[in-house]
A and B are shown apart, each in its own frame.
Chain A
Amino acid sequence: MERAISRLPRWMKRWEWILVILILVVYAIFSGLQPENYTFPKLLNQTRVYMVDVGFMALGILVVLILGDIDISIGATAALSATVMAVTYNQGDGIPFIAAIALMLLTGAVCGLINGLLITRFPELFPMIITLSTQTLYRGIAYIILKDQSAGRFPGWFSKDLGYGSFSLFGLDVPIMLVCILAVLPVYYIWLHKSASGRRIFAAGTNLTASRYSGVQTGRIKMAAFILNGIMAALGGFFLTSRTGSVKYTLATGYEMQAIAIAVLGGASTSGGRGSVAGLLLALILMTGLKNGLMLVYNDAFILNLSIGLLLILIVLVPDIAGRIRRQNTVRRQRLTLKKT
Chain B
Amino acid sequence: MPERTRKTGALSALFKQREVGLALILVVLFLLVGLRNPAFTTGSNALFILEDTAIMMILALGMLCVLLVGSIDISIAAIMALSTMTAGIIMKQNLNISEVQVMTDGVMGSVTLRESTPLILLILAGMGVGALCGALNGLLIAYGRVLPIVATLGMQYIIYGLSHTISRGQAVYRKDMPDSFINFSRATFLGLNSKIWFMLAVFVVIFIFLTYFRQGRYLYAVGSNRESAAMSGIKSPRTTLLAHIIMGTLAGLAGLLYASRDTKITQDMAMGYEMYVIASCVIGGVSVSGGRGKAVGVLLGALTMGVINNALTMLRLTGNSEFWKKAIQGALILSAVVINVLIQRSKERRVLKDRRI
List chain A positions with a Cβ less than 8 A from chain B. 70, 72, 118, 122, 124-126, 128-130, 132-141, 143-144, 147, 257, 260-261, 264, 269-271, 300, 302-310, 312-313, 316-317, 320-321
List chain B positions with a Cβ less than 8 A from chain A. 72, 140, 144-147, 149-151, 153-162, 164-165, 267, 275, 278-279, 282, 288-289, 323-331, 333-334, 337-338, 341, 344
Q: Shortest CB–CB separation between residue A226 and chain B, in angstroms?
A: 15
* Cβ-neighbour of B154 out of A118, A124, A136, A310 (below 8 A): A310
Interface centre among A128, A147, A304, A321 (most CB of B within 10 A): A128
Cross-chain contact A128 with B288 (CB below 8 angstroms): yes
* Cβ-neighbour of A317 out of B144, B156, B344 (below 8 A): B144
Cross-chain contact A305 with B330 (CB below 8 angstroms): no
Cross-chain contact B337 with A313 (CB below 8 angstroms): no
Q: Which residue of B lies closest to A302 (CB)?
A: B164
Docked CA distance A260–B153 (Å): 9
* Cβ-neighbour of A312 out of B150, B160, B327, B331 (below 8 A): B150
Cross-chain contact A143 with B279 (CB below 8 angstroms): no
* Cβ-neighbour of A136 out of B158, B326, B338, B341 (below 8 A): B326
Q: Which residue of A lies closest to B162 (CB)?
A: A306
Cross-chain contact A136 with B330 (CB below 8 angstroms): yes
Cross-chain contact A139 with B279 (CB below 8 angstroms): no
Cross-chain contact A133 with B330 (CB below 8 angstroms): yes
Q: Shortest CB–CB separation between residue A278 and chain B, in angstroms?
A: 20
* Contact A133 B279, CB 8 Å, known A306-B157, A310-B158, A321-B144: yes
Docked CA distance A132–B72 (Å): 14
CB neighbours (8 Å) of B267 from chain A are 302
Q: Which residue of A lies closest to B146 (CB)?
A: A316
Q: Shortest CB–CB separation between residue B342 and chain A, in angstroms?
A: 9
* Cβ-neighbour of A128 out of B144, B157, B278 (below 8 A): B278
Cross-chain contact B146 with A136 (CB below 8 angstroms): no
Interface centre among A136, A144, A257, A303 (most CB of B within 10 A): A136
Cross-chain contact B149 with A270 (CB below 8 angstroms): yes
Docked CA distance A304–B337 (Å): 36
CB neighbours (8 Å) of B275 from chain A are 72, 132, 135
Docked CA distance A97–B196 (Å): 55
11 contacts between A and B (CB under 8 A): A72-B275, A132-B278, A134-B334, A136-B327, A137-B327, A140-B329, A257-B153, A308-B157, A309-B153, A316-B146, A316-B150
Closest 4 CB pairs between A and B? A140-B327, A306-B161, A309-B157, A136-B330
Docked CA distance A62–B120 (Å): 47
* Contact A126 B288, CB 8 Å, known A257-B153, A270-B147, A308-B157: yes
Cross-chain contact A129 with B279 (CB below 8 angstroms): yes
Cross-chain contact A320 with B146 (CB below 8 angstroms): yes
CB neighbours (8 Å) of B72 from chain A are 128
Cross-chain contact B324 with A125 (CB below 8 angstroms): no
Docked CA distance A132–B330 (Å): 8
Cross-chain contact B278 with A124 (CB below 8 angstroms): no
CB neighbours (8 Å) of A270 from chain B are 147, 149-150
Docked CA distance A215–B90 (Å): 62
Consensus secondary structure, chain B interface: helix
CB neighbours (8 Å) of B330 from chain A are 133-140
CB neighbours (8 Å) of B161 from chain A are 302-307, 309
CB neighbours (8 Å) of B338 from chain A are 118, 122, 125
Q: Shortest CB–CB separation between residue A295 and chain B, in angstroms?
A: 14
Consensus secondary structure, chain A interface: helix
Q: Which residue of A lies closest to B328 (CB)?
A: A140
Q: Shortest CB–CB separation between residue A268 and chain B, in angstroms?
A: 10
Docked CA distance A235–B144 (Å): 36
**Count: A-B pairs, CB below 8 Å:** 137
Cross-chain contact A309 with B145 (CB below 8 angstroms): no
Q: Which residue of B lies closest to A303 (CB)?
A: B161
Docked CA distance A126–B329 (Å): 19
**Known interface pairs A137-B331, A140-B326; 9 further A-B residue pairs with C-beta atoms within 8 A, sorted by A's residue number:** A118-B334, A130-B334, A135-B330, A144-B327, A302-B160, A309-B157, A309-B161, A316-B151, A321-B144
Q: Which residue of B lies closest to A145 (CB)?
A: B323
Q: Which residue of A lies closest to B161 (CB)?
A: A306
Cross-chain contact A125 with B323 (CB below 8 angstroms): no
Q: Which residue of B lies closest to A122 (CB)?
A: B341
* Cβ-neighbour of B327 out of A132, A143, A300 (below 8 A): A143
Q: Shortest CB–CB separation between residue B47 and chain A, in angstroms?
A: 27
Cross-chain contact A309 with B337 (CB below 8 angstroms): no
Docked CA distance A122–B151 (Å): 26
Q: Shortest CB–CB separation between residue A132 and chain B, in angstroms?
A: 5
Q: Which residue of A lies closest to B165 (CB)?
A: A302
CB neighbours (8 Å) of A139 from chain B are 326-327, 330
Docked CA distance A133–B344 (Å): 20
Docked CA distance A123–B5 (Å): 31
CB neighbours (8 Å) of B288 from chain A are 125-126, 128-129
CB neighbours (8 Å) of B149 from chain A are 70, 128, 270
CB neighbours (8 Å) of A310 from chain B are 154, 157-158
CB neighbours (8 Å) of B154 from chain A are 261, 308-310, 312-313, 316
Q: Which residue of A lies closest to B281 (CB)?
A: A129
Q: Shortest CB–CB separation between residue B308 and chain A, in angstroms?
A: 11
Cross-chain contact B337 with A133 (CB below 8 angstroms): yes
CB neighbours (8 Å) of A300 from chain B are 164
CB neighbours (8 Å) of B278 from chain A are 128-129, 132
Cross-chain contact B341 with A269 (CB below 8 angstroms): no
CB neighbours (8 Å) of A134 from chain B are 330, 334
* Cβ-neighbour of A143 out of B162, B326, B331 (below 8 A): B326
Q: Which residue of A lies closest to B140 (CB)?
A: A313
Docked CA distance A111–B158 (Å): 31
Cross-chain contact B341 with A305 (CB below 8 angstroms): no
Q: Shortest CB–CB separation between residue A307 and chain B, in angstroms?
A: 8
CB neighbours (8 Å) of B334 from chain A are 118, 130, 133-134, 137
Docked CA distance A341–B109 (Å): 94
* Contact A132 B344, CB 8 Å, known A137-B330, A144-B327, A313-B155: no
Cross-chain contact B337 with A129 (CB below 8 angstroms): yes
Docked CA distance A136–B272 (Å): 11
Cross-chain contact B341 with A125 (CB below 8 angstroms): yes
Docked CA distance A72–B146 (Å): 20
Cross-chain contact B144 with A132 (CB below 8 angstroms): no
Q: Shortest CB–CB separation between residue B71 and chain A, in angstroms?
A: 13
